Structure 1
């Protein structure tokens, strides 16, 4: 006799559910010898289908369970459990429900049965937090390391310094796109130009041609007017402005490195 192999893992769980209920039946004074033999011979699902297809309204075992008020241990009850229903046709489930209700069994008791752990929806894995954006310090240190790996000039035929786009971007972010000269005549200068970029200029306090480093500690953001003053102003005024901006660049760089 073919057993329930075609019903897979769910068929095995259904059969085990029926077998697990046998001790309770015996304790209630009913020894389902024939029922147990059918399960062992043809499998739990085949046994249930056979009993549901029987010509009579109920089987002998169902009647005994009804007399002992143990219909919650019947095959019909097991067939109606939500996690086993896919093993049976709609007609078979309907017949099981009909037999239970005809014997005044409250079907809401089926809903009260705890969902077994094996068919409970798995707890979703927590969504991993996106990796934190690199900090100012991390980006500075990464660019410093990259600079050591590339040449200091753009070509072998020129001494033009290679400017770091990363450092320029960092200084713009650090300044919030605003002029960093505390003596600026327009401290709230913040104009957005082409490509949605602020109309400001990143300047090296001590020029690269003078030996100044291409590094955020030597870079500030200036509005066009303050940049023009620093570049073309009177010598004394330029010297004073450079001194001021050198302190600003150093302080803001150190503060950003520490996250202050």
Structure 2
């Protein structure tokens, strides 16, 4: 396995979750080179493990999207979600360390970002694990349908309501929902949503094989605008620049137009149109 424990076992310790907890922490530590190779140096993540231990760190990250938004989003952009904490949590031999709610949150984040969970079940079984707990069989019949736009919006709204009202921030950055960002990108089909865009249907693919577009809040978060799809649009780089740095009159007019577009497209998606 790429996550063999050699060379890191002495760093893991019992943080209250026994031998399996040590194995989980070893797995996380052994995966750090993959994160760095992907272009993400998880300094804060390592600090959390050193302070709280591997299992407790995973539980903290699963309890609050605020703690995972930066690292998870970076790995998603680099198509390296198999190096995420969520992936590790879903591995069959570690599942007993986590609650059903935590497992559901981890799986939801992965599937929400188009990660194939079959990769979890295809992961090589470690030598120390003789008989990993099998995944419960699916109900007979067709596979479960993918959640709809409405279901995903409502699930994220419920998750946000369930989070603590106050969370100690590690940075001054405004926290954004990676789920809502993903939904808006899908809703737009990777195209600029400004009907007055100078390049109608702007659709250019970048080096990472993702559309070169930007998700923008019509009314900024620091201005009191909600971090919600009803206040979010996808813009090409030029339209985003106009909205951000254009002349006041043009910006006011464009913002009014985009507010209507965001409202209309969100309502249509919620209705399944």
TM-score, with length taken from structure 2: 0.47
Higher RCO (Cα < 8 Å, 6 or more apart): 2
TM-score, with length taken from structure 1: 0.49
